[in-house]
């Protein structure tokens, strides 16, 4: 794209969209204008990609969330026109960084499950695989997080208030989703281009927005019933308004169920329409041309819905089940029993009365097979989809899929030996492992250009951008003082960038010479943000007792959102913010340690945090974290892991060496042995300083504004300590103190980080995606 051509496109887009010169627009309008100019460049390539895959089997990734982040820089990077566009904008007197900041993070996801989906789409396009995503176009995403008096307060995140240049409405592909005979809505598709690195393949993420079929009741309006006149439209739009509505009420549960059915039904109707338009007279070949990956149980309703739609096309049940089973594959993302989705039967019938009979048919088929397999009836509770007035979505997903995968080696082993071991006994080859991955294009090339340039220089090529395994060739180069010195200088530069960013956004000064110890992820009790907070509280107490001691400067950074209905998670956020206020306001301590809880943590903030980290906190109770992908992003950017042997930490240690990380705590077998035979009073009494920290929850040291939240945290610990925060604390503290000691020899400490970076090749989503494509989906690159 030539500079003059780009300038002309930008100016033309400005007049076309806003009727003004580009130079007269404000920052968000300028962003939209540049985005539209980029879209004008990539749309022909997008159309060509759709054509080239039209005759091949394709994969379709069904997910309730896609945590995409900003798209401008990612698209420019993958199209390899970033330098050209930046130089052109500079010639026009436009600050690209300000333009980039004007783009809102896409409100399409929340946690690791959604970010994994985004990485997979990037890898699919980069590797030239025919792969599309299907989800919901949430109007407000999950929520915008603010802290008020230390409490999390949720606000709407109107990320679509301004025109989004990356979304293309395709009204001609609108379908009708029927919840019941009296409850139907339109599903209107919006397509987002997924640009593979090099721009050779541009795949599609199709997102559905809900509209009323009859959008305006003129008669009601004419009668003065103004609210009633738009009631249908408001109710329909609610379906695609918010990601993960609070499901602590029946109304919230019903809305979640509607969302799940809405996007799965719309997506399947879309695929079946295209299949028929391609000239197929029967559905015999449907599974030969479509592979659908269910990203957790949120899209599991696709199973009975595909059977229902096939029966409407004249396919009898057994054949429809066979086609469905050959089409579907299921990813399990959890080891938590409470996270295995179960719907109340009566609630389900109230929302989806037309779909329930198909789940009954699937369950009836399963019962027949359990009898045929001679499974003891006393064990049927481990299999039945419908039981105790409940519908078990995970069981249906396992039964009606051809492959079920875990997302880390230890996670998959635990699925086989514990969580769904009975299913593994019946289908010994169905449960497979696909260790998660991340895309190096966003999490290294884009977010850490300094380290990317160093890697390219050392390897002598840019091939690592699409083959991360090449990083292994860097491993022994840390013995070169110049190489390690450059690595350390880059880390210092990224730490200074983060310090400046935090000062601007949080108004907190942090010391780039301190250890940057970072825990960023969803707020959940099993992830044990509370244990990190307890270490800080204990360290604070120790510094106060010996302010002149030899203390290593440390900055502890948290980033996390708590689900709106998750009371204990919100209580922990309040405690961490109270702790931060106490530490940061104490002049005797705040020159040694600082605590920051960043507001509204998301992808764009993460792009600043991962490259700057010295220490990656991965401290979940062993056996609870399925995989994690944040741990991989930290590793790729040269941080050491302090963590338990849980999730992908196990494989990180295998790749980079235990000696280059900081492993502590009970392992899975020890946790299981301790469970049911554990008295939290023992570690409270035996661990010096721990009782004082726990008692500070309720003795007036920290204040919860009269909510009783801190008392509830105290009671949960002393009454059972389900996630073994107290039991693992002593080992965690000793390990953290060792990090402080080791950091004093910066060369030796950063050598560990360098070795982690050099051994991160396994954790590319390119590797994971290729395994799915070849071993589960059986799709091929463009021939």
Domain locations in the chain? Answer: 57-69+110-132+165-435, 440-677+724-763
* Residue in 296, 391, 294 with CA at minimum distance from that of residue 350: 391
- Is 522 among the catalytic positions? yes
- Taking the mean position of all CA atoms in its chain, how far away is CA 56? 29
Tokens found for residue 135: 């989800």
Tens digits of per-residue pLDDT, 299-317?
999 999 999 999 999 999 9
Average pLDDT, integer, range 395-411: 97
Tokens found for residue 465: 């951008």
DSSP of 96-126: HHHHHHTSPPPSS--SHHHHHHHHHHHHHHH
DSSP of 166-180: T-EE-GGG-EEEEEE
User: Given 424, 434, 522, 762, which residue is catalytic?
Assistant: 522
pLDDT value, residue 219: 75
**Is the pLDDT confidence value at 710 over 80?**
yes
**Is the pLDDT confidence value at 149 over 80?**
yes
pLDDT value, residue 239: 96
User: Given 411, 416, 524, 527, which residue is catalytic?
Assistant: 527
Tokens found for residue 675: 């469970």
**Is the pLDDT confidence value at 676 over 90?**
no
**Is the pLDDT confidence value at 3 over 90?**
no
Average pLDDT, integer, range 705-731: 98
pLDDT value, residue 1: 61
pLDDT value, residue 224: 78
Q: How far apart, in whole angstroms, are the C-alpha atoms of residue 753 and residue 721? A: 33
User: Given 144, 256, 308, 633, which residue is catalytic?
Assistant: 633
User: Given 115, 256, 308, 333, which residue is catalytic?
Assistant: 333
DSSP 8-state code for residue 285 = T
3-class secondary structure, 432: strand
User: Given 629, 687, 735, 768, which residue is catalytic?
Assistant: 629
3-class secondary structure, 344: strand
From the CB of residue 124, how many other CB atoms can be counted at a distance below 10 Å? 29
Q: Which fold has domain 57-69+110-132+165-435?
A: Rossmann fold (3.40.50)
- Is 570 among the catalytic positions? no
DSSP of 661-727: SEE-S--HHHHHHHTTS--THHHHHHSTTHHHHHHTTTSSSS--TTS-HHHHHHHHHHTT-TT-HHH
Tell me the CA end-to-end span of the chain in Å, nearest whole number.
27
66 burial level (CB within 10 Å; 0-12, 13-18, 19+): buried
Tokens found for residue 724: 């073994």
Mean pLDDT of the chain: 95
Tens digits of per-residue pLDDT, 212-224?
998 766 676 777 7
- Is 735 among the catalytic positions? no
Average pLDDT, integer, range 527-550: 97
Contact yes or no for 115/603 (Cβ under 8 A): yes
**Is the pLDDT confidence value at 521 over 70?**
yes
pLDDT value, residue 226: 60
From the CB of residue 413, how many other CB atoms can be counted at a distance below 10 Å? 15
Contact yes or no for 294/304 (Cβ under 8 A): no
- Is 624 among the catalytic positions? no
Tens digits of per-residue pLDDT, 330-354?
999 998 877 789 999 999 999 999 9
* Residue in 567, 588, 596, 578 with CA at minimum distance from that of residue 700: 578
Tens digits of per-residue pLDDT, 154-184?
999 999 998 999 999 999 999 999 999 999 9
CATH architecture of the domain with range 440-677+724-763: 3-Layer(aba) Sandwich (3.40)
Tokens found for residue 525: 């009790």
Q: Determine the angle formed by the axes of helices 481-506 and 449-459, rounding to 10 degrees.
A: 160
pLDDT value, residue 5: 85
Tens digits of per-residue pLDDT, 425-467?
999 999 999 999 999 999 999 999 999 999 999 999 999 999 9
Tens digits of per-residue pLDDT, 35-55?
999 999 999 999 999 999 988
Contact yes or no for 340/393 (Cβ under 8 A): yes
Q: What is the 3-state secondary structure (H, E, C) of 726-744?
A: HHHHHHHHHHHHHHHHHCC
Instruction: Kindly compute the dihedral angle of the four CA atoms of residues 167, 170, 175, 177, in this order, to the nearest 10 degrees.
Output: 10
**Is the pLDDT confidence value at 730 over 90?**
yes
Residues 267-281 as b or e (16 or more Cβ within 10 Å = b): bbbbbbeebeeeeee
pLDDT value, residue 479: 84
3-class secondary structure, 195: strand
The reply to whether domains 57-69+110-132+165-435 and 440-677+724-763 share a CATH topology is: yes
Q: To which H or E segment does residue 28 belong?
A: helix 27-52
Tens digits of per-residue pLDDT, 224-274?
766 767 788 889 999 999 998 888 899 999 999 999 999 999 999 999 999
Average pLDDT, integer, range 594-622: 97
- Is 521 among the catalytic positions? yes
Q: How far apart, in whole angstroms, are the C-alpha atoms of residue 330 and residue 345? A: 22
Helices then strands, each counted (H, E), the chain: 33, 21
């Amino acid at each position: 794209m030539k500079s003059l051509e780009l300038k002309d496109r930008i100016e033309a887009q400005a007049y076309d969209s806003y009727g003004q010169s580009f130079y007269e627009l404000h920052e968000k309008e300028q962003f939209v204008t540049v985005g539209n100019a980029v879209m004008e460049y990539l749309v022909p390539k997008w159309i060509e990609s759709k054509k080239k895959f039209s005759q091949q089997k394709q994969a379709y990734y069904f997910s309730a969330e896609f945590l995409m982040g900003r798209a401008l820089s990612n698209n420019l990077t993958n199209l390899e026109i970033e330098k050209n566009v930046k130089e052109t904008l500079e010639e026009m007197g436009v600050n690209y960084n300000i333009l980039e900041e004007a783009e809102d993070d896409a409100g399409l996801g929340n946690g690791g499950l959604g970010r994994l989906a985004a990485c997979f789409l990037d890898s699919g396009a980069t590797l030239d695989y025919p792969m599309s995503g299907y989800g919901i176009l949430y109007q407000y995403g999950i929520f915008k997080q603010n802290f008020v008096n230390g409490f999390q307060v949720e606000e709407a995140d109107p990320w679509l208030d301004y025109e989004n240049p990356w979304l293309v409405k395709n009204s001609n592909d609108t379908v009708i989703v029927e919840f019941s005979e009296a409850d139907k809505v339109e599903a209107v598709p919006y397509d987002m281009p997924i640009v593979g690195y090099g721009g050779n393949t541009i795949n599609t993420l199709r997102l559905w927005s809900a509209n009323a079929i009859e959008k305006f009741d003129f008669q009601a309006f004419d009668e003065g019933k103004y609210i009633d006149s738009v009631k249908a439209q408001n109710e329909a739009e609610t379906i695609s308004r918010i990601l993960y509505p609070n499901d602590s009420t029946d109304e919230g549960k019903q809305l979640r169920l509607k969302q799940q059915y809405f996007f799965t039904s719309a997506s399947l109707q879309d695929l079946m329409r295209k299949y028929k338009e391609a000239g197929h007279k029967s559905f015999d070949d449907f599974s030969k041309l479509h592979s659908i990956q269910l990203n957790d149980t949120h899209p599991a309703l696709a199973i009975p819905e595909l059977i229902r739609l096939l029966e409407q096309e004249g396919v009898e049940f057994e054949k429809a089940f066979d086609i469905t089973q050959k089409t579907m594959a299921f990813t399990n993302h959890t080891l938590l029993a409470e996270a295995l989705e179960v719907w109340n039967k009566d609630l389900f019938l109230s929302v989806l009365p037309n779909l329930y009979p198909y789940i009954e048919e699937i369950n009836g088929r399963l019962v027949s097979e359990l009898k045929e397999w001679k499974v003891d009836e006393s064990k049927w509770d481990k299999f039945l989809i419908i039981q105790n007035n409940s519908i078990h979505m995970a069981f249906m997903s396992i039964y009606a899929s051809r492959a079920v995968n875990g997302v880390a080696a230890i996670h998959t082993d635990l699925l086989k030996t514990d969580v769904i071991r009975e299913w593994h006994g019946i289908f010994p080859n169905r449960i497979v492992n696909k260790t998660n991955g991340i895309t190096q294009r966003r999490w290294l090339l884009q977010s850490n250009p300094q380290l990317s340039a160093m890697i390219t220089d050392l390897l002598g090529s840019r091939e690592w951008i699409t083959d991360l395994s090449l990083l292994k060739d860097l491993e022994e180069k840390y013995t070169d003082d110049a190489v390690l010195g450059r690595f350390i200088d880059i880390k210092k530069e990224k730490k200074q960038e983060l310090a400046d960013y935090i000062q601007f956004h949080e108004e907190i000064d942090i010391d780039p010479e301190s250890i940057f110890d970072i825990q960023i992820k969803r707020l959940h009790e099993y992830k044990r943000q509370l244990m990190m907070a307890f270490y800080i509280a204990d360290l604070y107490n120790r510094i106060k007792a010996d302010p002149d001691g030899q203390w290593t400067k440390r900055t502890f950074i948290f980033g996390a959102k708590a689900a709106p209905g998750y009371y204990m998670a919100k209580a922990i956020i309040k405690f961490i913010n109270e702790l931060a206020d106490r530490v940061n306001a104490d002049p005797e301590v705040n020159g040694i340690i600082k605590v920051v809880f960043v507001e509204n943590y998301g992808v764009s903030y993460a792009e600043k945090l991962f490259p700057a980290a010295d220490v990656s906190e991965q401290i979940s109770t062993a056996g609870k974290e399925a995989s994690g992908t944040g741990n991989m992003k930290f590793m790729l950017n040269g941080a050491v892991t302090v963590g338990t042997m849980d999730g992908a930490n196990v494989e990180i240690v295998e790749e980079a060496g235990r000696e280059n990380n900081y492993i502590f705590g009970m392992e899975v077998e020890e946790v299981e042995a301790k469970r049911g035979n554990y008295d939290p009073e023992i570690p409270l009494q035996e661990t010096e300083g721990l009782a004082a920290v726990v008692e500070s929850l309720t003795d007036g040291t920290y204040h919860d504004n009269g909510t009783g939240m801190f008392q509830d945290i105290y009671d949960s610990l002393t009454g059972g300590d389900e996630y073994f925060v107290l039991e693992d604390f002593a080992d965690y503290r000793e390990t953290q103190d060792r990090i402080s000691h080791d950091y004093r020899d910066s060369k030796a400490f950063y050598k560990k980080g360098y070795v982690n970076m050099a051994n991160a090749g396994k954790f590319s989503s390119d590797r994971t995606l290729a395994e799915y494509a070849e071993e589960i989906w059986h799709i091929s690159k463009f021939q």
